[in-house]
Structure 1
């Protein structure tokens, strides 16, 4: 077997320890040693770079590309899958080697990456989001039309469902389709047509059914949740992560700390809506106005969560905006109260812990899979970080 040594780099190992000069060796897809003066059969000179673990984005939509439902509706059904392949490749360009798709990707994409048919990060998938009638993921419009980029197909059951019995069956169908995590919408959304982000959705018994069905097969639940009431309902039911959390109140934050619930803040998402509206993209005036109002509310919510000790993992909501800009979230998390090192931990070891893969990924530790990224200069300086990605490795194979 060939042992590769990455020499002379400044290693940020993802544990939270300060960066330090070190070498990293890996063999047969696994990290062997991290230290000084290491040898290998193949040497990579990393002088002038930071060596960091492969990063995570815990909230993406790879079948959506920020172009709006009208553009998507005008394309052939299969176009979305080719577009997803491009989006996955662009995400890997960022040094993100693992993603959790928050609605849209199906099992075929996971298998295509694993079997080397397409290029992209490792994936966990939720397949579709469970939403009540009139809820965040109900695509009904006042005209009576349903316009959505996520048309149901055999590998992606429709997520709109009501009542505990129907919710139970649909959850089981999504699990059968290969989900790694179940997603439920317990509030409305910023871009929803028929609700408000502060509206609570699903009753407690419906949410409890989703959690119970997930737990029965050892899966977690992620909850799209903006409003405080819907956040608290999800946390009390036992969801693993709150996605967005814009209107967190102190009771919700205390509950999350008590229950160990994660926050995936996706701070880039409302900012992307504001930018799209300013550029003349098809964002309604009401959506644009609302997005502008919540940017500061969102940042304040994260700051209070950080100060209270809520666990944070990086997610971006890429797909709401074009893929490949994922790393902008790092600087926004610093604005939200994390240190630069804390933000990078949120994108590495903390994200791996949320996804339940921390025994294999997330830190540069002997025995773990050799997913690592070489970045020119200081990886804790986030300006133009994507442009400074020099090399990306997955399981010890250089893919960028």
Structure 2
């Protein structure tokens, strides 16, 4: 009897693994060649793409499923390299540091994760939170909750009074003296310890705030906030622990120090000049422009009391140069990765970045490739994500129109498959 039971279990398991999903794709974006192909069938088994065939192939087994996407444009799942998945913008955001418990943050983050996935973003890089982002990543990986693949920096690293100092703007009795455990450093020893603490806490990468920031409760949004030695030590230690470094940076000097140290990406880059652009090209450092954040913040700054008063001059000065900076970046050919800073604006609206990129001067295909094949390479997953290709993970989305003709269609993703599972149809 036991032998028969084992055989039945084995047969049942085999029958499950043999089931395949056939996606009949009217159009398919080939991110590797930069072309839009027509009339393709993508065959998925388990969590992998097992074949991409010409025409509309019919399944051989009655257990297999056919998904009709003949009127859609199909492409790889999107990757956003800059989100903050633990929360999002609101007029009460600066007060919520004192009113929300980590449990509150966790429940909010679960809803945000699902919203992000439904928008077609099957992978994201979370660049700084409280540590809930690590637990959320783990829960998604285990299948406990739905959401994108998360690559998280856990808590961003800053300096005392710097952009990532969590006590900025608090009264003196609450400020205390946060250190490496809280992601605040001063000196080389602190730098090493902060990186190691992030590793211990479960981070996938390191995020530093190389300059001041626009939305922190501090006066300067451009000044360099690490010495060259500190940034060097952070990058060196991160490398020893198998991690790359992303650097928030608006001002020129902070960007230079970060690029010289060997960071992988510069986030924002608002006041970049040709010298920094040349340095980034030389070092193959990618810019993550986060145009969506700038557009949203500029609009909300017009609403009284939406942001603390100390922030408003920083918004004005940053937005005054941003268009010219992006024009220069395009002309100089700075390497570009797709990232939005979602959380600064509502999650789920990440795809507006495509529209802003095209308006700025990048082509539709370039913007799509930046969010797929480019970002997969930066995540060291270029053989698993970013393409619809045999052997790749089945992260696949579809939109109603051809985005190379109407990029705004990216704002309405109508089909989402992640890891072979359909989440939206």
Smaller-chain TM-score bracket: over 0.9
CA distance in 2, matches of 1:109, 1:8: 33
Shift of 1:114: 0.6
**Can you list the C-alpha shifts for 1:71-91, whole angstroms capped at 9, x where unaligned?**
342233310010011111111
Write out aligned runs for 1:220-299 (5 A): 220-280=244-304, 282-299=306-323
Write out aligned runs for 1:31-70 (5 A): 31-37=49-55, 38-40=57-59, 41-67=64-90, 68-70=93-95
2:108 match: 83
Shift of 1:289: 4.1
CA contact (8 A) 1:128 1:157 kept: no
CA contact (8 A) 1:273 1:288 kept: no
**What is the CA RMSD across the aligned residues, in angstroms?**
1.9
The 3-state SS of whatever aligns with 2:306 is coil
CA contact (8 A) 1:267 1:329 kept: yes
2:42 match: 24
Gaps of 5+ in 1: none
CA contact (8 A) 1:32 1:366 kept: yes
The alignment status of 1:163 with 2:187, answered yes or no, reads yes
1:176 match: 200
1:130 match: 157
Gaps of 5+ in 2: 1-17
Pair 1:52–1:281, CA change in 2 (3 A): farther
1:144 match: 172
CA contact (8 A) 1:87 1:323 kept: yes
Pair 1:374–1:133, CA change in 2 (3 A): same
2:29 match: 12
The alignment status of 1:3 with 2:30, answered yes or no, reads no
TM-score by length of 1: 0.93
The 3-state SS of whatever aligns with 2:80 is strand
Pair 1:146–1:328, CA change in 2 (3 A): farther
Write out aligned runs for 1:348-387 (5 A): 348-380=372-404, 381-383=406-408, 385-386=410-411
Shift of 1:285: 4.1
CA contact (8 A) 2:218 2:311 kept: no
Write out aligned runs for 1:188-227 (5 A): 188-227=212-251
The 3-state SS of whatever aligns with 1:20 is strand
CA distance in 1, matches of 2:342, 2:25: 34
Shift of 1:16: 4.5
Shift of 1:217: 1.9
1:336 match: 360
Shift of 1:145: 5.9
Pair 1:145–1:358, CA change in 2 (3 A): farther
TM-score by length of 2: 0.88
CA distance in 1, matches of 2:156, 2:422: 34
CA contact (8 A) 2:159 2:185 kept: yes
CA contact (8 A) 2:34 2:369 kept: no
Shift of 1:142: 6.5
**Can you list the C-alpha shifts for 1:177-202, whole angstroms capped at 9, x where unaligned?**
11111111110011122242220111
